[in-house]
Structure 1
Amino acid sequence: MQYDVIIIGGSYAGLAAGMPLARARRKILVIDGGQRRNRFAQHSHGFLTQDGTDAGAIAAKGREQLLAYDTVHWLEGKASSAERTEHGFRVQIEGMESLEARRLVLATGVVDLLPDVPGLAERWGSHVFHCPYCHGYELNQGQIGVLASSPMSMHLALLLPDWGATTFFLNDSFEPDDEQLEKFKVRGVRLERSRIARIEGGLDLIMQDGRLVKLDGLFTATRLEMASPIAALLGCEFDDGPFGRTIRTDLVKASTVPGVFACGDAARPGGSLPLAVGDGTMAGAAAHQSLIFGGY
């Protein structure tokens, strides 16, 4: 069976990509491995009409609405590779037969690589976050920490005083210069140069000098890795950013490989649920139009 479009990844971006294609009555397949990036967070914030809603419930509702269209098919599995064929693309799914489509939408997501601090990973999504716009308000202007992973972490540290009293834990990642120190002073950011030995309790930071620092929330920038090798296998070009690579796309989310579109966190720096939905919608509409007009 050949589909019009195969969407690899069934989280927010992939679901959103499916909607314009489904409404155009195109035969599509969504392949999903069930690993949402925000699966560690209980609630989603900042998404208009869904603020504070359970993150999993939003994805489940999106899947229910998409599957209400009878040209949409869903496959739970992991796409392991993809290649160009004479008439489009062939996608190999682990433990199954390969499937073909005229177009591909990659909504494959990324993996967060956290700083190596004992106790940090266990609190990811509940007490440790990456986005103040998603999680800052709920800290109720309490005690906030920023764990530096590189000089780029300054950006977070200078943002977060709008959400609470902010301490910047340098953790030997870099030493601010005089100009940077002045910026911290203006924003009221306190600097902490002792390393974090481990994290205990809710969010109790045990410092290497033995002190205990209690926080209401801790933010850190993660390194990003592609969650799937498929974009690279297809020959897509990437953009290198300060926190990792993203699939290079144009304004309509077309990749550098004709017929392949990419959306969501794998195809933009940063990332959030509303941005993933917007990008997915654009990618799905562009994929549909490419079936009619060619190009991309």
Structure 2
Amino acid sequence: MRIAVTGSIATDHLMTFPGRFVDQLMSEHFEKVSLSFLADTLEIRRGGVAANIAVGLGRLGLDPVLVGAAGVDFADYRDWLRANGVDTDAIRVSATRHTARFVCTTDADQNQIATFYAGAMAEAGEIDLVPIARRAHGLGLVMVGPDDPGAMLRHTDACRELGVDFAADPSQQLARLDRAETRRLVDGARFLFTNAYEAALLQERTGWNTPQVLGRVGNWVVTHGRAGVVVSRAGRAELRIPAVTATAIVDPTGAGDGFRAGFLAGTAWGWPHARAGRLGCALAAVVLESVGTQEYKLSAADLHLRIEQAYGPVAAAEIIHHLERR
């Protein structure tokens, strides 16, 4: 199965604040917040949700098609993506704008305050997925990640037109979508990805309760951080997948993208959801242990050990048998 990943391509500016954000907040002054946090470290890394997921898929041996908009400063990033097994031919490069920027500060409790500058991503709405699918000689699944809202809606419409399965991952862009747009984005998705907070926000945005959402999508995958992952489907019992424990949480940014890459890779290989979810959780733990969203090293032996420790030797054997052939 060939997977296209649509969404943001960005440069991450990641800072670390040694204290706790909550210690600086004064509830009686929330209407006029003026705060400054002195960061100890600054890391500038390649990122963006779609690019992060595509890199994960590429490192697992797939040949993902990355679909998004980048800026005039994209040349080095393009080379990096190609070196990591990502097809970049469908990326639109702006003639005037810079690649999107994600500026994020993380405190001692792993809480984050972030700002996102769209930059070239504003041009993503001009990308037509139909000719991209034809050039790729057919797509088995399109992952529609957070992007320019117009682009996200256009991509899901194109998938319906083409008869191609799609996964909807509205993520941070839920705040930008109204009720009609949110319904249009997720309706008919084979997979809907959210974290626990976004799950509640999605229900508020759509006006649908949980059974109604499950009546509109094939599978709803909700990540719960250290509590693992829940996969829900109408008329079936929930599937709960425990998290893989990271040895040390160095940087939480991109862990969810790592999970999605592992889960989608397992889906591409025809695995059941439980097995795909275990690989996703293992990859998320790897990402947690490195600074930046794409700087981690991946090996079949390391994934095998993590999965064996978390889920037992039988589960590890099922996964490693496939990974060693990649």
Structure whose residues are more often helix by fraction: 2
**TM-score interval (norm. to shorter):** 0.3 to 0.5
Structure (1 or 2) with the larger CA radius of gyration: 1
Higher relative contact order (CA 8 A, sep 6+): 1
Give the TM-score normalised by structure 2.
Answer: 0.31
Structure whose residues are more often strand by fraction: 1
Give the TM-score normalised by structure 1.
Answer: 0.34
